[in-house]
Amino acid sequence: MRRVLLSVNVSLLVGIVCATAIAERPDIQSLESKPLYEFTEAEVGAYIGHLQTTEPSLRKRIMHLARKNIGQPYAIY
């Protein structure tokens, strides 16, 4: 009986975590036009993951991110 309850609880927990992850996944197309400095942590992770799957070359990914970062406001201290 304990094993059944434990497996049901684990299944529910996995379902909740998966549903939350899917609900919080940002839309990649909307991130294409958004500047990097406005990204949230979740958006950065999703965008970098997307870039890694679409562009296998590390050098090209770095160039893409550098170009996307042009125009970012900054302050010299």
- Cα-based distances in Å from 66 to 35, 61, 63: 11, 9, 5
What single letter denotes the amino acid at residue 45? G
Residue 11: per-residue pLDDT: 60
Q: Evaluate if pTM is beyond 0.85.
A: no
User: Rounded distance, CA 18 to CA 16, Å?
Assistant: 5
Distance CA 41, CA 35 (A): 13
Q: Three-state DSSP class for 71?
A: coil
Q: How far apart are CA 75 and CA 15, in angstroms?
A: 44
Output the tens digit of pLDDT for each of the chain's 77 residues: 666 555 655 565 555 554 444 546 678 888 988 898 899 999 999 999 999 999 999 999 999 999 988 888 888 87
